[in-house]
Structures are given as C-alpha cells and as structure tokens.
Amino acid sequence: TLGVPVSVDTCKPDVMRRALDAGADVINDVQALRQAGALSVVAGSGAGVCLMHMRGEPDSMMGLAAYDDVLSEVAAFLEQRAQAALEAGIDEERIALDPGYGFAKSAEHNLRLLAGQKRLAELGYPLLVGWSRKRTLGEITG
C-alpha cells in the first residue's frame, strides 16, 4: 500500500476490479455505477465510491444539457443511484455524491447547483465537488 488513500476514476468494471485488487480505496465513477457489473464489483469490495451525475458520454454530453429544473433532476438522479448502491450491498458510509459540475451542464446550471448545494447535502451523503472542467470556470469567471 502507498500509505495514502488512492482514488481511481473509471466507469469500467474490469478496471475497477483491477484497481481494487491493486489496493485502491475509492472508485470515482462518472457514470454512477450504471455499467453492467459495476455495482457488484464495488459492493464486493470495502472501497468507497463516488457517484457522479453526467448525461451521455464526455464527447457528446454538452448536447444533453437541457433541464427543466437542474437541481431537482440532479438530486433525483443522485438519490436513485445511491439507492441502487445500497440495494447492491454498498454500505451508506462508503457512498459520496458528485453533482458533476461542467458535465452536461451550462454555466447557469452549474451556478444553480452551487447555490442549491444545501439541498444536495440533505440527501445525507458527503459531496465531492470537482471543478475540473476549465471551460466552465472560464465561462463563470470571464
């Protein structure tokens, strides 16, 4: 082991399994364990998991950035994926949620999510907030 927690970003169950076998502590999945087999891989480990909201795939997601109520829709998705994780046998304390800032969301959507972060926290799981989408930061900051 490395002596520090290791998180692996992947949505592929085979990569998850190999990373966990190598000692990864957390799986950070941009698809929120929606690929076949992903739930069972994480459930069979003691690892933590971060479930992220994203529509589509990274190369096509911005065409899917249409919401009636971005906060309600993201919250409902994250709640549903957390419930799926619980039903698969992943303990509640192993789950964190990520609203997916910049992933299939406009700058306005991101700001609405940020303003409504309290509602997301009320889902009862730790939140991971990653502002890795530089385009989004540029739009917000000018």
Rg from Cα positions in the chain? 15
Name the phi and psi angles at 114, rounded to 5.
Answer: -60, -45
Domain containing residue 16: 7-141
In a domain, 2, yes or no: no
> Per the structure block, which two tokens stand in for 75?
């919250």
Look at residues 18, 102, 99, 36 and name the one whose alpha carbon lies nearest to residue 27: 18
In a domain, 79, yes or no: yes
Name the phi and psi angles at 8, rounded to 5.
Answer: -115, 125
Q: What CA dihedral angle connects 10, 131, 43 and 80, to 10 degrees?
A: -120
Per-residue pLDDT of the chain (142 residues; tens, 9 = 90+): 568 999 999 999 999 999 999 999 999 999 999 999 999 999 999 999 999 988 656 565 555 566 789 999 999 999 999 999 999 999 999 999 999 987 778 888 888 999 999 999 999 999 998 776 566 667 667 7
- CATH, residue 41: 3.20.20.20
In a domain, 99, yes or no: yes
The count of structural domains within the chain is 1
48-52/7-9 β-pairing: unpaired
pTM: predicted TM-score of the whole model, two decimal places:
0.87
In a domain, 57, yes or no: yes
In a domain, 1, yes or no: no
In a domain, 137, yes or no: yes
Would you list the DSSP string of 12-72?
A: -HHHHHHHHHTT--EEEETTTT-STTHHHHHHTSS-EEEEE---S-TTTGGGG---SSHHH
In a domain, 82, yes or no: yes
In a domain, 29, yes or no: yes
